[in-house]
């Protein structure tokens, strides 16, 4: 499932020029090398003239996209939290006031903004209306490259006379595409997804799904590993039966845990006739 990485340090805009810090970085680790979705959240954006704000996102593989530029017009904003998401129902506004919510990325300048060194040189991938790129086309799949490493947000105020900040920092939410088998799977390809919930103060529940994306049946599938940090889940093992191509099996595992909000690692794995499967991901404990 989606994994969120956050830099809580404020970003401050001067009257004109590059923000402080420049860039603001987020280190991503523990993900598979192919992802299916990226969203960006700006927490507590304040600016007296939002049209001045230009944001460039650069991935560890060097993909570089202007995710927000010349939006919000001349309408001063205070402490709005904006998520840039390709799946949002509306584009981020050009001249209307910015409000808290989810919006598709936007760049309303037909000529690309300049980003001073130490930002990489242009040209940059650009969303509507200055271009046609999306977060999905820029950063996911084979074109997006490995998401593990340093993501950099370069923020600029492109005209003098106004100030602002992103007081709560920013975050990336990344959805891995697949988790592959740990041993050669032949024509069996078991993919694992999982979701954590907290049913009570002392336990965490993992809802686990195993799907066979291969071309032949995976026989005698068994879920034998479920570990949250150093805590082993129960009950284990669980017999998931045989999975035909495209079929799924579901399991529920319980962990003893009283540390909501902590960062940890969830490891899920098992065996089938002729091979094994495993998935490891970073999680925030609910």
Question: Using 50, 70 and 90 to split pLDDT, how confident is the model at 187?
Answer: confident
CA–CA dist 34, 179 (Å, integer): 9
Give the domain ranges of the chain.
3-176, 190-284
What average pLDDT does the chain have? 93
Question: Using 50, 70 and 90 to split pLDDT, how confident is the model at 135?
Answer: very high
User: Could you tell me what percent of the chain has a pLDDT over 70?
Assistant: 97
DSSP for residue 98: P
Count CB neighbours of 18 within 10 A. Answer: 18
Contacts of 111 (CB under 8 A, 6+ apart): none
DSSP assignment string, 158-177: -STT--EEETT-EEEEEEE-
Question: Using 50, 70 and 90 to split pLDDT, how confident is the model at 33?
Answer: confident
Nearest C-alpha neighbor of 159 from the set 234, 242, 73, 77: 73
User: Peptide bond before 284: cis, by omega within 30 degrees of 0?
Assistant: no
CA–CA dist 70, 109 (Å, integer): 6
CA–CA dist 124, 101 (Å, integer): 25
| Tens digits of residue pLDDT in 195-249 | 999 999 999 999 999 999 888 889 999 999 999 999 999 999 999 999 998 899 9
pLDDT higher than threshold 80 for residue 146: yes
Average pLDDT over residues 249-276: 93
DSSP assignment string, 203-258: EEEEEEEEEE-SSS-EEEEEEEEEEETTEEPBS--EEEEEE-TT-EEEEEEEEE--
Question: Using 50, 70 and 90 to split pLDDT, how confident is the model at 274?
Answer: confident
Strand partners, 250: 209
| Tens digits of residue pLDDT in 99-129 | 999 999 999 987 888 999 999 999 999 999 8
Residue 260 has a pLDDT of: 92
| CA 119 to mean position of chain CA atoms | 21
Residue 166 has a pLDDT of: 98
pLDDT higher than threshold 80 for residue 185: no
pLDDT higher than threshold 60 for residue 184: no
Question: Using 50, 70 and 90 to split pLDDT, how confident is the model at 186?
Answer: low
Residue 270 has a pLDDT of: 94
Nearest C-alpha neighbor of 169 from the set 54, 79, 76, 69: 79
Contacts of 121 (CB under 8 A, 6+ apart): none
Backbone angles phi, psi at 122, to 5 degrees: -75, 180
Residue 183 has a pLDDT of: 45
pLDDT higher than threshold 80 for residue 178: no
pLDDT higher than threshold 60 for residue 176: yes
Second-level CATH architecture of 190-284: Sandwich (2.60)
Q: What is the CATH number of domain 3-176?
A: 2.60.120
């Amino acid at each position: 499932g989606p994994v969120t990485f956050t830099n809580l340090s404020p970003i401050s805009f001067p009257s004109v020029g590059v923000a402080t810090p420049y860039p603001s970085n987020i280190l991503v680790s523990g993900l598979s090398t192919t992802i299916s979705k990226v969203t960006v959240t700006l927490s507590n954006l304040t600016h007296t003239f939002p049209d001045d704000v230009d944001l460039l996102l650069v991935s560890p593989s060097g993909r570089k996209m202007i995710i927000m530029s010349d939006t919000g017009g001349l309408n001063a904003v205070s402490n709005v939290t904006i998520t840039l998401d390709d799946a949002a129902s509306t584009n981020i506004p050009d001249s209307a006031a910015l409000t808290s919510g989810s919006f598709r990325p936007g760049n309303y300048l037909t000529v690309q903004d300049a980003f001073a060194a130490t930002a990489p040189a242009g040209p940059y991938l650009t969303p509507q209306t200055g271009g046609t790129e999306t977060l999905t086309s820029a950063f996911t799949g084979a074109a997006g490259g490995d998401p593990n490493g340093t993501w950099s947000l370069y923020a600029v105020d492109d005209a003098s006379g106004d100030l602002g900040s992103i007081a709560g920092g920013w975050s990336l939410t990344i959805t891995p595409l697949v988790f592959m088998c740990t041993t050669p799977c032949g024509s069996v390809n078991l993919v694992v997804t999982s979701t954590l919930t907290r049913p009570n103060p002392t336990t965490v529940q993992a809802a686990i799904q195993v799907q066979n994306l291969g071309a032949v049946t995976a026989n005698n599938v068994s879920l034998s590993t479920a570990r949250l940090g150093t805590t082993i889940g129960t009950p284990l093992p669980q017999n998931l039966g045989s999975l035909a191509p495209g079929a799924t099996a579901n399991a529920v595992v319980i962990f003893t845990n009283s540390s909501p909000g902590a960062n940890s690692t969830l490891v899920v794995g098992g065996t089938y006739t002729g091979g094994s499967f495993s998935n490891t991901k970073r999680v925030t404990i609910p």
